[in-house]
């Protein structure tokens, strides 16, 4: 059974089409990522699925419950960890969890057992009675996740779970999410603009761009779909247009494009192609500073399907 279904969801804010026909399904028990740059529509999608905003059209279900017709049923089945923390920094970790449980109608020994269980689960048992203000960024984020799990949901939404964390804390959070998915038998939908995060965590992912789902599949399926290897040539003195013309004539070269002083192309075998490419560029009087080859990445997948650089779209979304 699909735990989450979005079917042709549209949402507009004034002149901005935040969601333009978003459709996807998440299978029960899997970790699914919505990957896209800032401003792509990921958080709006989550807000619709968590009943925080109504779609203009289309439909969505969580754990079999329609989020518009039966929002309370959907809320009882889902946990939500927003991008901006909702914890009380002047309370202890335990007090935060006890309050959250009471909001969901939990009381007495049941609530106490669940709080103790969660503190152990997210590695905060030793810090349970410390004021949250003194927690590290990673500890606060783990508490956020515990808050979303108090009422034992079957579906957990994580909106940009590692934004603001340093690299070490981010890797620790990835391990935490993988462990929680297994131990709590959860379906997890996470949004992220970190390519490596989606690659590391997701069983399947959907790439979101400008309010639309562009493509979906497992990370490996999407990368395998880009046949060949990427060759990147850094030029010494510009001449990118001339270099593109030379490379495009090279047998087997596909998706050749220039970005500043850099020319990229995809070839069947990078190691074999590089000597001949360098010779052709040298013969055309084009000086090369360096050349590198790499296997397809999710960055390449995004470029292939949108025609735009992920980093450029991400910077545009932050502006």
Residue 194 is predicted with a pLDDT of 92
Residue 255 is predicted with a pLDDT of 85
**188 and 158 Cβ atoms separated by less than 8 Å:** yes
Pull the structure tokens for residue 97: 């969890």
CA–CA separation, 118 and 150 (whole Å): 7
Residues 163-192: pLDDT tens digits?
888 888 889 889 888 888 888 889 999 999
Q: Which CATH entry fits the domain spanning 227-295: 3.40.50.10490, 3.30.70.980, 3.40.30.10, 3.40.50.300?
A: 3.30.70.980
Residue 313 is predicted with a pLDDT of 87
Secondary structure (3-state) at 6 = strand
Helix spans in 35-190 (H): 42-49, 71-77, 93-103, 108-121, 137-149, 167-183
**Residue range 291-296: mean pLDDT, rounded:** 90
Residue 135 is predicted with a pLDDT of 96
Q: What is the overall mean pLDDT for the chain?
A: 93
Dihedrals phi, psi of 257, to nearest 5 degrees: -155, 155
Q: Where do the domains of the chain lie?
A: 2-223, 227-295
Q: Which residue's structure tokens are 């220039």?
A: 258
Residue 226 is predicted with a pLDDT of 82
Band the pLDDT of 27: cuts 50, 70, 90: very high
Residue 295 has pLDDT above 90, yes or no: no
Pull the structure tokens for residue 169: 């804390």
Pull the structure tokens for residue 299: 């960055």
Residue 319 has pLDDT above 70, yes or no: no
CA–CA separation, 92 and 101 (whole Å): 14
According to CATH, the topology of domain 2-223 is Rossmann fold (3.40.50)
Residue 309 has pLDDT above 90, yes or no: no
CA dist list (Å): 284 to 90, 247, 262: 67, 11, 16
Domains 2-223 and 227-295 share a fold: no
**Residue range 104-129: mean pLDDT, rounded:** 95
**205 and 215 Cβ atoms separated by less than 8 Å:** no
**162 and 170 Cβ atoms separated by less than 8 Å:** yes
Residues 203-226: pLDDT tens digits?
999 999 999 999 999 999 999 888
pTM of the model: 0.84
């Amino acid at each position: 059974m699909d735990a989450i279904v979005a079917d042709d969801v549209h949402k507009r804010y004034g002149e901005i089409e935040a969601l333009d026909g978003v459709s996807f399904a998440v299978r029960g028990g899997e970790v699914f990522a919505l990957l896209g740059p800032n401003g792509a529509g990921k958080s709006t999608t989550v807000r619709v699925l968590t009943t925080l905003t109504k779609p203009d059209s289309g439909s969505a279900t969580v754990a079999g419950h329609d989020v518009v017709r039966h929002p309370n049923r959907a809320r009882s089945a889902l946990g939500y960890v927003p991008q901006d923390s909702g914890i009380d920094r002047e309370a202890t970790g335990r007090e935060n969890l006890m309050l959250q449980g009471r909001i969901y109608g939990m009381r007495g020994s049941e609530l106490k057992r669940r709080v103790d269980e969660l503190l152990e689960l997210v590695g905060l048992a030793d810090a349970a009675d410390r004021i949250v203000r003194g927690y590290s960024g990673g500890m606060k984020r783990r508490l956020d996740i515990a808050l979303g799990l108090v009422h034992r949901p079957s579906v957990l939404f994580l909106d940009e779970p590692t934004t603001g964390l340093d690299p070490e804390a981010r890797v620790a959070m990835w391990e935490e999410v993988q462990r929680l998915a297994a131990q709590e038998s959860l379906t997890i939908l996470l949004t992220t603009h970190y390519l490596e995060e989606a690659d590391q965590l997701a069983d399947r992912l959907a790439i979101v761009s400008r309010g639309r789902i562009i493509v979906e599949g497992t990370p490996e399926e999407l990368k395998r779909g880009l046949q060949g290897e990427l060759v990147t040539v850094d030029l010494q003195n510009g001449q990118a247009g001339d270099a593109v013309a030379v490379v495009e004539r090279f047998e087997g070269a596909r998706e050749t494009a220039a970005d500043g002083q850099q020319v990229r192309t995809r070839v069947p075998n990078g190691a074999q192609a590089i000597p001949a490419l360098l010779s052709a560029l040298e013969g055309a009087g084009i000086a090369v500073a360096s050349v590198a080859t790499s296997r397809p990445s999710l960055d390449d997948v995004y470029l292939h399907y949108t025609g735009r650089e992920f980093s450029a779209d991400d910077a545009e979304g932050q502006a």
